Amino acid sequence: MIRRDRRLFWIGFAVILALLAAAPLVLPPFWRHFVTEVLIWGLLAMSSDILIGYTGLISFGHSAFFGLGVYGAAAALLLVAPPNLFLAIALGLVAAALVAGFVAYFSTRLRDIYFAITTLIFSQIFYVVIFTWTSVTGGENGLTFTRPGLGIPGLYVVRFTPVTMHWFVLAVVAVSYLILRRITRSPFGMVLQSIRENESRTRAIGYHVEHYKMVAVMLSGLFAGLAGVLYALQNEFAAADFVFFLVSGETVIYNVMGGIGTLAGPLVGAAFFLLLREALSRYFTEYYLIPLGIIFIAMVIFMPQGLLGFARRWLNR
């Protein structure tokens, strides 16, 4: 039974991967770009699911990790000549990890609601710093840079085309998904889930809950930073807006819409949200968040397990 489940999972994974890999070859440019963006936001949403779905901590501060990933990559691309892809990824991850470590240290002293509020406030600290430190970050205007090529610098470098960029993003997201999935099924992931289910009991058994939470926040921040790096590479642009609260809020929405604690769900949620945004903004122009917010509230009340959880329950019946 378990073996069958596993085979089913890998078949499903391969099919979806193949479909996503083929997507840029058949889709028009707008939708190709759209699918790439969904993957990037999906990675951000998945990273946040480690906290929301598996540890029971709602982070309203993921924009800080994401934004620092964007700015870290930007810094590497602007300061080092010639721009190097791997250096950008490394610096983006380091920046996100540093911020995540800082946030994790303070916010994990608190539970539930307090955690949500402190992560929100921390992300706003970084937003204010980045927004007002115009000489370095470009403030409101942001920074623009050019995307480096893929390969070993000096030896062999190919320039990205939109299609290869999509494949690169897909590869990173797919590998990240597998790593995150492995983590959630590891003993460490089990401890996180037991913190979600009953924190005091987990503590009583003898686990150092704070350490586990701290590592969970840092891990989550690291993958959020990776999403930020991908976003920077895709759009060749960094701005203070990426550190703003709205990004964190949307990340939470992706999770809830897709189904928290399912890992793949948040990616589905991101796709659903972005599709809804496309559809709704035809009728509601820039006020699409009014109907979208109402749909979101309705899903919180009536479909708390999200799209994927709902589908899964329906299939099992």
Among 256, 264, 274, 308, binds another protein (CB under 8 A): 256
Shortest distance (Å) from residue 294 CB to another protein: 6
125 touches another protein by CB under 8 A: yes
Other residues' Cβ atoms within 10 Å of the Cβ of residue 119: 28
How many CA atoms lie within 13 Å of 212's alpha carbon, on the beta-carbon side? Answer: 26
Q: CB nearer to another protein: give 129 or 275.
A: 129
249 touches another protein by CB under 8 A: yes
Composition of the chain by helix, strand, coil, percent to 5: 80, 5, 15
The DSSP output letter for 124 is H
158 touches another protein by CB under 8 A: no
What is residue 131's three-state secondary structure? helix
Spatial distance between the Cα atoms of 117 and 106, rounded to a whole number of angstroms: 12
41 touches another protein by CB under 8 A: no
Choices 21-29, 84-92, 113-121, 177-185; region in contact with another protein by CB under 8 A: 113-121
Q: CB nearer to another protein: give 86 or 106.
A: 106
In 239-283 the beta strands, taken as DSSP E runs, fall at none
Q: CB nearer to another protein: give 162 or 304.
A: 304
In the numeric block, which tokens belong to residue 85?
A: 């892809």
282 touches another protein by CB under 8 A: no
Spatial distance between the Cα atoms of 252 and 20, rounded to a whole number of angstroms: 24
Q: Which residues would be at the binding site for another protein (CB under 8 A)?
A: 56, 58, 60, 106-107, 109-114, 116-118, 120-122, 124-125, 128-129, 131-132, 245, 249, 252, 256, 286-287, 289-290, 292-294, 296-297, 300-301, 304
